Amino acid sequence: MSGTVVVSLDAELCWGFHDQVTMPADRIAAPRASWRFLTALFEKHEIPATWAVVGHLCLDGCDGTHADHPCEEAWFSRDPGGVMTADSRWFAPRLVTNIRDSAVGHDIGLHAFSHVEFGAKATTPAIADAELHHGVTAVDRLGITPVSFVFPRNNVGHRSLLAARGFTCYRGLRPDRWYDTSPVPGVETLAKGATYAVGSSPPIVSPAVDDTGLVNIPASLFLFSFGGIPQRVAERIGRDPIVRQVEAGLDDLRSQPAGVLHLWLHPNNITTWRDRRRMDAISTLIAAYRDRFGITVATMADVAEQVLGESTDTTAVDDGREHETRW
pLDDT digits (tens, 9 = 90+) for 204-263: 999 999 999 999 999 999 999 865 555 555 555 568 999 999 999 999 999 999 999 999
Contacts of 131 (CB under 8 A, 6+ apart): 55, 112, 113, 114, 116, 118
How far is it, in rounded angstroms, from Cα 286 to Cα 279?
A: 10
- Cβ burial of 191 (10 Å; 0-12, 13-18, 19+) is middle
Instruction: Flag whether pLDDT at 312 surpasses 70.
Output: no
pLDDT digits (tens, 9 = 90+) for 149-202: 999 999 999 999 999 999 999 999 988 755 455 556 655 555 555 565 556 789
Instruction: Flag whether pLDDT at 302 surpasses 50.
Output: yes
How far is it, in rounded angstroms, from Cα 157 to Cα 151?
A: 8
Q: What is the pLDDT of residue 324?
A: 38
Q: Selecting from 3.40.640.10, 3.10.20.600, 3.40.1010.10, 3.20.20.370, what CATH number does the domain 4-177+203-229+257-310 have?
A: 3.20.20.370
Q: Where are the domains of the chain?
A: 4-177+203-229+257-310
Q: What is the pLDDT of residue 181?
A: 58
Torsion of CA 322, 161, 90, 174, to 10 degrees: 30
The model's confidence at residue 77, banded by pLDDT at 50, 70 and 90, is very high
Q: How many helices (H) and strands (E) does the chain have?
A: 10, 12
**What does pLDDT average to over the chain?**
89
User: Which region, left, alpha or beta, applies to residue 201 given φ > 0 means left and ψ of -120 to 50 means alpha?
Assistant: beta
How far is it, in rounded angstroms, from Cα 258 to Cα 290?
A: 15
Contacts of 74 (CB under 8 A, 6+ apart): none
pTM exceeds 0.85: yes
Contacts of 193 (CB under 8 A, 6+ apart): 230
pLDDT digits (tens, 9 = 90+) for 261-293: 999 999 999 999 999 999 999 999 999 999 999
SS3 at position 5: strand
Contact 2, 257 (CB under 8 A): yes
pLDDT digits (tens, 9 = 90+) for 7-44: 999 999 999 999 999 999 999 988 899 999 999 999 99
| Mean per-residue pLDDT, 58-72 | 94
